[in-house]
Amino acid sequence: MNAVLNDRAECMPANDLALMMSAADTEVQDALQEHDADHATTEAERLVLAAEAGDVGAPFVPAALATLRALQAENLPEWRRLRERMKRAGVGVTELDKQLRHGDGAPPGDDEKGIAELLVDLARNQCQFVHDEQKEPYAVLEASGARQVHRVMSRSFSDYLSHAFYTQHDRAPTEQALKIALQTLSGQAKFGGEEREVFTRIAKTEDGYFLDLCNDAWQCVQVTATGWAVAAGAGAPLFVRSASMRPLPLPERDGTMDALWPLVNVPVADRLPLLAWMLECLRPDTPHVVLELVGEQGSAKSSTQRALRRLIDPNQSDLRAAPKTVEDVWIAARNSHMVSLENLSHLPPQYQDALCVLATGGGYAARTLYTNDEETILDLRKPIVLNGISVIVTAQDLLDRSLHIDLPTIQARELAGDMEARFEAAQPTLLGALLDLFVKVLAKLPSVVIAPERRPRMADFAVLGEAVYRVHGEPAGAFLASYNAMRKDGVLRTIDASPVGAALTAYLADVPSGFNGTLSELLDRLDRFRPQGETWPRSPKGLGDTLRRLAPALRMIGFECKALPKTGGVIRWHIFPKPGPSDPCLGPVETTTNHPDKSIATAGHAGHAGHGFSRQAMGKGMPLSHGTDAAEYGEVF
């Protein structure tokens, strides 16, 4: 204290010196600080007057910066008033603020690291940090009257933190300081935060199913077998959103799904299976079925697909073109609930394999950006919808996970604006009706039992479909019969989509007893049945690879196809008709129902031509033309 008084004594009048030497008293010290503040204000006033007189550089002199810092610290209201006057006088106040923080004489520690520490402290005071099972970090916070959840490294949380910092400190954080703070908070969430389940759009907990409405109030809908209700805050799961996700309206009660059919071009016979698919999209705990919409130009494929998506998972881009890479499929799936691809003409094998994994649940791994040996793993299960003019799903694995719907050509067109207006008006009621149906189906599910030997590959979907049919008054087994008929049609499409499959079925029709011999011999025998202009295996090995892919489909239509043990260095193949039912899951299929109107040609849109519930006869197919992008041995699956 004496040293400070001595320093001041050298530059102050005697009466001030006497005052300072008696500063042991607290009141005297307060008076001294007030004296300094007044002095700083007076000096700052001189700087402002100089700037107003045209000297806009006066505030940037080192001594002037020291004076302004003192005023800023001791009399903030007066500093704000003088700063505004300097701004009107033409002083670059943004640069002045920077010099006050970092220029000559700035207090130590007010650098990038200091700002990062302020950001971290701010975030810790306003947010709870958690992580999920994959160690993805999240921030849970209260903002705008709602509980929100953001990925720590997301743009949305970065923007929130920047805004909060500016509100509190009246300046924006630097990019580097923000990066340091986010990395620090990410580590805190991963290693110090609680592990929590975090969901995208849909969730399943012990309290039921939930659908995130993605609105500004961060509300969701809870659905159980007894009803549904809107929930938010502590009563809801943690939902995270991407920038492309869009809100659903608040659902309204007392509606029916009948309002949907004039808005989508779906034949009557396929409407109940479609409703089952829509409800399956709301269940995160079961494998999803891939919806394939096929129709010629002018069959309202895109508008139908868009309407279906907007009832479940609206997005900035409801329909997307074919992805360029398999990785793009997974990235799109991570940032939304539904994968929606349109106008597809061909899906290479690796894409169909990826969609198989994505629909039933699985992971995709890639090298983490800017690292040598770290992996980023995406573990997802998502509903998928595709549309195209020709059949898209040709791989047997994906076919077994698909629901195929043929859309009829429309005869009378409606203006896009009118359709949009009708959909927006109906959307709240349709969402409420879909939730009402979900409640009834959940109540019916415990009573639905399918014998293990009759269950198809997508057994969960089959049970759900049976429940949907029974809620609509259909007899037990009606959905399974319809679904198995679709599967049989799909098998025929898969075989016809392959040049080898088409040639082999033609050969077996000519030689019902089948084939027993080497692949070289079979390749020679099939040559006369080879479709013109189609790609073809270039070697016996290529034919063998193709037969292995076709074997499950051939088995489902009654032919066993297998390689026999090697004898004398030669592998022989045996293709022969199977005794008994071709597939115990398919069994005898009854295609009639108790409702004759389902066989009547009916339109999807009002006034549009439709078609009835018809299935291909065995042996008839839907040949596809293949693109030039074929697999190594000429097969496209």
CB 203 within 8 A of CB 210: yes
Whether 546 contacts 498, CB under 8 Å: yes
CA–CA separation, 401 vs 409, rounded Å?
Answer: 26
Question: What separation in angstroms does the CA of 171 have from each of 101, 214, 284, 600?
Answer: 11, 31, 43, 70
Indicate whether 262 pLDDT > 50.
yes
Neighbours of 605 (CB within 10 A): 23
Strands 339-341 and 219-224, bridge-based pairing? unpaired
Residue 389: how many CB atoms within 10 A of its CB? 14
Q: pLDDT band for position 599 (50/70/90)? A: very low
Q: In this predicted structure, what is the pLDDT of residue 28?
A: 40
Give dist(CA 335, CA 241) in Å, integer. Answer: 8
Residue 497 corresponds to which amino acid? A
Question: What pLDDT band is residue 211 in, cutting at 50, 70 and 90?
Answer: very high
Mean pLDDT of 511-528: 92
317 and 246 Cβ atoms separated by less than 8 Å: no
Measured in Å, how far apart are the chain's first and last C-alpha atoms? 87
Tokens of residue 479, six digits: 């959905």
- Which range of 115-119, 277-281, 330-334 scores highest in mean pLDDT? It is 277-281
| pLDDT at residue 191, as a whole number | 95
Q: What is the DSSP string of 267-320?
A: -GGGHHHHHHHHHHTT-TTSPPPEEEEE--TTS-HHHHHHHHHHTT--BSSSSB
**Percent of the chain having pLDDT more than 90?**
50
pLDDT at 630 (0 to 100): 32
- Say what the pLDDT of residue 270 is: 95
Nearest to 385 by CA among 522, 290, 521: 290
Predicted TM-score (pTM) of the model is 0.72
b/e code 3-28 from CB counts within 10 Å (16+ = b) = eebeebeeeeeeeebebbeebeeeee
Nearest to 498, CA basis, from 635, 344, 335:
635
Q: Looking at the predicted structure, is the pLDDT value of residue 113 above 50?
A: yes
Helix 93-102 / helix 62-74 crossing angle, nearest 10 deg: 90
State how far the Cα of 256 lies from the Cα of 171, in Å rounded to an integer.
53
Q: Which helix (H) or strand (E) holds 134?
A: none
Nearest to 589 by CA among 504, 512, 483: 483
- Mean pLDDT rounded to a whole number for the chain: 82
Which of 246, 207, 195, 201 is CA-nearest to residue 220?
Answer: 201
Confidence bin at 106 (pLDDT 50/70/90): low
2 Cβ contact partners less than 8 Å away, ≥ 6 residues apart:
none
Task: For residue 606, give every residue at least 6 positions away whose Cβ sits within 8 Å of its Cβ, in sequence order, or none.
Answer: 262
From residue 184, alpha-carbon distances to 152, 171, 195, 368 in Å are 10, 21, 18, 19
Tokens representing 460 are 């969960």
Instruction: Give CA–CA dist 426/608, Å, rounded.
Output: 20
Distance separating alpha carbons of residues 92 and 102, to the nearest angstrom: 15
| Structural tokens at position 323 | 């992805």
Whether the predicted pLDDT of 36 surpasses 60: no
**Confidence label for 139 from pLDDT (cuts 50, 70 and 90):** very high
One DSSP character per residue, 495-532 reads HHHSHHHHHHHHHHHH-TT-EEE-HHHHHHHHGGGPPT
Using CA atoms of 506, 509, 513, 519 in order, give the dihedral in degrees to the nearest 10. 0
C-alpha to C-alpha distance for 387 and 405, rounded to whole angstroms: 10
| pLDDT of amino acid 585 | 55
The Cα-based distances of 134 to 62, 129, 363, 588 in angstroms read: 52, 15, 12, 46
Model pLDDT, residue 395: 81
d(C-alpha 275, C-alpha 271), whole Å: 6
Taking the C-alpha atoms of residue 189 and residue 158, their distance in angstroms, rounded to an integer, is: 15
For 514-581, give the DSSP string. -EEE-HHHHHHHHGGGPPTT----SSHHHHHHHHHHHHHHHHHTTEEEEEPPPBTTB--EEEEEPSS-
Q: Report the SS3 class of residue 168.
A: helix
Lowest-pLDDT range of 39-48, 88-97, 464-473, 528-537: 39-48
Whether residue 40 has pLDDT greater than 50: yes
3-state secondary structure of 323: coil
Does the pLDDT at position 8 exceed 80? no
- What's the one-letter identity of residue 11? C
The pLDDT of residue 112: 59
DSSP string, 50-117: HHHTT-TTGGGSHHHHHHHHHHHHH-HHHHHHHHHHHHHTT--HHHHHHHHHHSTTPPTT-SHHHHHH
Highest mean predicted confidence (pLDDT) among 405-419, 453-467, 481-495, 591-605 = 453-467
Angle, vertex CA 188, rays to CA 182 and CA 193, nearest 5: 130
Query: 507, 526 in Cβ contact below 8 A?
Result: yes
| Rounded Cα gap, residues 281 and 432, in angstroms | 15
Question: How far apart, in whole angstroms, are the C-alpha atoms of residue 182 and residue 547?
Answer: 54
Q: Which domains does the chain have, with CATH numbers?
A: 2-102 (no CATH), 112-196 (no CATH), 257-472 (3.40.50.300), 480-599 (1.10.10)
Contact 193, 131 (CB under 8 A): yes
Sign of the four-CA dihedral 283, 327, 130, 239: negative
Q: Which amino acid is at 86?
A: M
Has residue 623 got a pLDDT over 50?
no
Q: Compute, in degrees rounded to 10, the torsion defined by CA atoms 394, 400, 401, 405.
A: 70
